[in-house]
Amino acid sequence: MHIEVPTQESQTIQMESIGNARELGGYKTKDGRYIKHGLLLRTAKPVTASEKDIERLQNKYHLATIIDLRMSAERDKEPNPAIAGVEDIWCPIIDENKIRANVNGEQAAALQNAKTTFEKLKIAIKHRIVSDKMYIGFLSDDQGKKGFRLFFQKLLELPNGRSLLFHCTQGKDRTGLAAMLLLSILDIPEETIMQDYLLTNTFNAPLIEKERQMLSQQNLSEEEILTYLSVMDFVNAQYMQNALDFLKKEYGSPSQYVTQELGISEQEIAQLKAKFLE
């Protein structure tokens, strides 16, 4: 099936218990080719996977590799399921030491003492721990470059006919950036890349509505509500647009970032196109 406009129905991989679970298959390149179905999977954390989900990943998608983009605390708290024959690669994008160094004692104490998720979010937003420029930080930081480089190396090593699943916690920010970089080097138009990014809001619609109701009781403006939702389960187009604008300004394009900063050669990009396009 060739996809003109990505939808939940066209991209779902039909997981029972894994959130935001979808694939990149069917997207059309600028020169009229398509991404092969069933090879490139993106999800939220798979810790919740049911036996049926695992069986489907093994038997329908022939899963070979899981790329975990989370921090160590996230991974330790909710580890990936052990799946026979599947390589589980830790590929962190965020430098945890830098976060600890940048959070002063007062902020750390406030986060420690916060009794609710909302209070923690409030502190994180107030101190710019999260913001609409957050993705630029992930792309600029040495740890981000190291993590994305490993992501592409594992894509190059992926056995033919086997799939790779990449995820973070909600499958939206770090996963969204990884998808953007991959789709860019496969020559998918920017419009489709943005549509793929925004599909999170469709897949997470019930969660987003529940959180919006909770936030609406906190005497916040609509702009503040959107900021809080963007930390939780919602994606904001401006976050990704800021990242794309940064890559164009600094490198000329996302693809040139991949070659210049991640060290993925033109020959290797050609290998990835041969592997994933039809």
Residue 227 lies in a domain: no
Residue 123 lies in a domain: no
Q: What confidence score (pLDDT) does residue 119 get? A: 66
Burial of 212 (0-12, 13-18, 19+ CB in 10 A): middle
Q: Is residue 155 helix, strand or coil?
A: helix
How far is residue 206's CA from residue 20's CA, in Å, rounded to a whole number? 11
Number of domains in the chain: 1
Q: Is-above-0.85 flag for pTM?
A: yes
Instruction: Spell out the per-residue pLDDT of the chain, length 278, in tens.
Output: 777 789 999 999 999 999 999 999 999 999 999 999 999 999 999 999 999 999 999 999 999 999 999 999 899 999 999 999 999 999 999 988 776 665 555 555 555 565 666 666 666 666 566 788 999 999 999 999 999 999 999 999 999 999 999 999 999 999 999 999 999 999 999 999 999 999 999 999 999 999 999 888 888 888 888 888 888 899 999 999 999 999 999 999 999 999 999 999 999 999 999 999 99
Residue 107 lies in a domain: no
> Where in the sequence is the domain holding 69, given as residue range(s)?
8-102+136-204+237-276
Residue 51: other Cβ atoms inside 10 A: 10
Residue 126 lies in a domain: no
- Report DSSP letters for 106-153, one per residue: HHHHHHHH--SHHHHHHHHHHTTSS-TTHHHHHHHSHHHHHHHHHHHH
Residue 213 lies in a domain: no
Residue 186 lies in a domain: yes
How far is residue 163's CA from residue 272's CA, in Å, rounded to a whole number? 13
Q: What confidence score (pLDDT) does residue 90 get? A: 98
Residue 3 lies in a domain: no
Contacts of 159 (CB under 8 A, 6+ apart): 64
Beta-strand relationship, 40-43 and 22-23: antiparallel
Residue 24 lies in a domain: yes
Q: What confidence score (pLDDT) does residue 185 get? A: 98
- Domain with residue 38: its CATH number is 3.90.190.10
